[in-house]
A and B are shown apart, each in its own frame.
Chain A
Amino acid sequence: MTLELFSQYLLAGVTYGIIYAIVGIGFNIIYNTTGIINFAQGEFVMLGGMTAITLTQWLPLPVAIGAAVVVVMLIGALVEILFIRWLDRPSVLRMIIITIGISILIREAALHIWGEGVRSLPYFVGNEITTVPVLGARVSPQVLWVIGVCTLMVLALSLFFKYTLQGKKMQACAANRMAATLCGISTRNMVTLSFMLSAGIGALAGCVMSPITYTQYDAGTGLAIKGFTVAILGGLGSSMAAVAAGLLLGLIESFSVSVVPLAFQDAISITLLLAILFFRPHGLFGSKDAAGLKEF
């Protein structure tokens, strides 16, 4: 393999990897505050892209993207308030089925609103054929946008959890819900906030990736599977581990193209997921003892 080809695969892997990582972090944020895996996580990404595409008809691109993120955050809050908030200690099986139902409803609503056509946002800089040389490979500037924005999001999130009061409150809920309630934290509001947060980062990722990956009404399911793989691979609940795992999965997928046909790419990543679930259910970077205390 030549150096050019290698860096081309490398950059493609990092691009997809960081997108998977964002979806994986979205899973983690909600899982930490509620113990729920939100199967509708991928739909937030799709909604972000679709809403921004519609809004660009009237608004300039940056404003449209900002508005789309706000809209999807509100949808996230609405989903939580309508379907999750008032349930009293629901069983895991019940929550799985409810979030799957939500994801189907959002997807079908998107199908009826936007149709089944493939859409995309315009390139932020240049157009389809603009390229910049990186490490001997030639990539679209949009790839750098995706990597840059997603990296910033990861940094912003870690600062948010470390230094802001809201972030610390959410971490308190993750550590011990009962104790957090006793400290005067409204755990219910924290759950709503966590849905808004993960919907927001999903939507922003959906916007920046839209020009290169395109947006279609059913794009969410595939992303949710990959994001979940990443969340498990890193160890459920840990955001930084999800980033590492996301990059790993992205690289495995992009380099696998040089060995097997593209059609089997998903089969490879899912086989990987199954293998991890069987041999290391606490993830590559997670601790076995900590995982033993959690409920799945």
Chain B
Amino acid sequence: MKRHLPLILMVLIAVGVQQLTRATGTGFYLTPLTMAAYYSLVIVGLCLLMGYAGQISLGHAGFFAIGGYLSAMLTTRDLTPYQDTPVLVLLGKLGFTTTGQDMFGAAVLHVHPWAACGCAILVTIIVAYAIGIPVLKLKGHYLAMATLGFGIIIYRLVLASPLFGEADGISEVPGFPLLPGLAVSGDFENRVTNYYIGWGMVALAMWLLVNLIHSRVGRALRAIHGAEDATNAMGVNTARYKLNGFVLSAVLAAMAGIFLTHYNGGIGPSEAGIMKSVRYVAIVAIGGMANLWGALLMGTLLNVMSLRGMFGSYDDAVFGLILIVIMLFAPHGLLGLSLPQGLKRLLKRGE
């Protein structure tokens, strides 16, 4: 029960913030807060990989982009020319396609968001395994450079492919109907609902991750971080744990990409850029590496500030400065330094 105390606290804060914005008439804050919730999904996933398994990834924006772009592409591109191909006939029979009309009244055929989401996650899992098996054998600088290289390849591919809209990205992505009457979309009247959908997903992910790191898997991952050879000698299949941790964090990033794309109604190549990956790493570092709640708190705070435009044209510079200052003076994160001992202990217990 005690380990779930921060989770309950988080839900209470989320509800409290929504009530506060309602009471003060500052509902416009809900949009950046919802977006920050989705970015937090990437961040807590990366925190599992970096903080607990000790494997750096400078390519997580790539997984975010795989999720977002595939989902956007499948739900917006007109598939009418291919409607007689066996794959689409099968999808149609299973009810995974939707038909509609474009602005000139011609019939168009799209893949249903649920099917697109499943497809995007499936591709992410395949890519994550294919990349993860060779990459995770590397250490230190080589691992950093290999994951960075993966991120750049994805960035170049989306930037160079007409299918993914090149420099313009993909826009007019439809909403994602999770259940009848409950859709992830940027519609003004659904703002509060979407705020709760976003933070509900974060709560779900946190519940999953907190339980995971307290299980056998979590202990194995932390042991790998401490001393990989020793862990291996103890009979733990370190390669498999690292790989599964990598795939899990990739899937979280892809889900964030999918939902944020449907929420924003579009996605552009900057979401796949190197600076995005570096930003995720920066936030995990400032949260204290092996501290899920710290990463979540800092991720929400910094993303909301960034999305509200508080850093102006110094946006990237702020994150670069944070990286240096934190790594020079407080390698255990900001929470390891400044918060009073009692609160720190409470947060530690949540790990």
Contacts and interface: CB of A to CB of B under 8 A. Distances in A.
Contacts of A102: 320, 324
Contact of A92 (B141, B285, B322): B141
Contacts of A271: 153
A108 B322 CA distance: 13
Contact of B159 (A93, A263, A295): A263
B297 interface: no
A125 interface: no
A93 B141 CA distance: 8
A103 B142 CA distance: 18
A96 B134 contact: no
A274 B54 CA distance: 21
A270 B149 contact: yes
Given A83-B328, A93-B140, A261 B160 contact: yes
A interface, over-half SS: helix
Which of under 10, 10 to 19, 20 to 34, or 35 or more describes the interface residues of A?
Answer: 35 or more
Contacts of B331: 94
Interface stretch (B16-24, B88-96, B169-177, B310-318): B310-318
Contact of A295 (B140, B157, B282, B285): B140
B160 A100 contact: no
Given A104-B320, A228-B145, A266 B156 contact: yes
B274 A274 contact: no
A232 interface: yes
Nearest to B148: A225
B316 to A, nearest CB: 5
Interface string B247-274: 0000000000000000000000000001
B142 A105 contact: no
B33 interface: no
Contact of B145 (A98, A111, A273): A273
Contacts of B144: 37, 96
A122 B153 CA distance: 33
Contacts of B319: 104
Given A92-B140, A266-B152, A274-B150, A98 B323 contact: yes
Interface string A237-268: 00000000000000000000000010110110
Contact of B141 (A37, A109, A111): A37
Interface in B292-335: 313-314, 316-317, 319-324, 327-328, 331
Nearest to B137: A278
A263 B160 contact: yes
Contacts of A112: 313-314, 317
A6 B143 CA distance: 36
B278 interface: yes
B132 to A, nearest CB: 12
Q: Which of A87, A225, A296 has the most CB of B within 10 A?
A: A296
Contacts of B178: none
Interface string A80-100: 000100010000111011101
B281 interface: yes
B316 A264 contact: no
A7 interface: no
Given A104-B323, A225-B152, A96 B157 contact: no
A277 B146 contact: yes
Contacts of A267: 152-153, 156-157, 160
A23 B111 CA distance: 47
Interface string B50-76: 000010101000000000000000000
Given A37-B141, A263-B159, A98 B313 contact: no
Contacts of B148: 225
Contacts of B327: 94, 97-98, 101
B12 interface: no
A211 interface: no
Contact of B281 (A37, A97, A266, A281): A97
Nearest to B152: A270
5 contacts: A104-B278, A274-B134, A274-B149, A277-B135, A296-B138
Interface of B: 54, 56, 58, 134-135, 137-142, 144-146, 148-150, 152-153, 156-157, 159-160, 274-275, 278, 281-282, 285, 313-314, 316-317, 319-324, 327-328, 331
Interface of A: 37, 83, 87, 92-94, 96-98, 100-105, 107-109, 111-112, 221, 225, 228, 232, 261, 263-264, 266-267, 270-271, 273-274, 277-278, 281, 295-296
Given A261-B160, A278-B134, 9 more contacts: A37-B144, A104-B275, A104-B320, A108-B316, A111-B313, A225-B152, A264-B156, A267-B156, A277-B134
- 3 A-B pairs with the lowest CB-CB distances in the bound complex, closest first: A104-B320, A101-B323, A263-B160
